[in-house]
Amino acid sequence: MESGFEPRVLICCDCGEEFVFTAGAQEYFAERGFSEDPKRCKSCHTQYKKNQRLPHHQPADAAYHQSDYRSPD
């Protein structure tokens, strides 16, 4: 069965640039019950994550691609 998700263009709250909320990412969000859209593009999200305290064994870029992919306020 098709997922029914289609890529959507969103505006990054940090840099103001458009970015694509991919079907895969939407499915990921839906599976985890996230009701809000991501607020940041990939590069800003990565930068945002770098500014957070991350476990040393988990680089920010890896976090983006794994279970930590979300865009908190």
Binding site for Zn ion (CB under 5 A): 12, 14-15, 41, 44
Please list, in sequence order, all residues whose beta carbon lies within 8 angstroms of the beta carbon of residue 43, skipping any fewer than 6 positions away: 15
For residue 18, the surrounding DSSP H or E stretch is strand 18-21
Instruction: From 43, 45, 26, select the one nearest 34 (Cα to Cα).
Output: 26
> Cβ of residue 21: shortest distance to Zn ion, in angstroms?
13
Shortest approach of Zn ion to residue 2 CB, angstroms? 30
- Least Å distance, CB 37 to Zn ion, is 14
Q: Which is nearer to Zn ion, 26 or 71 (CB)?
A: 71
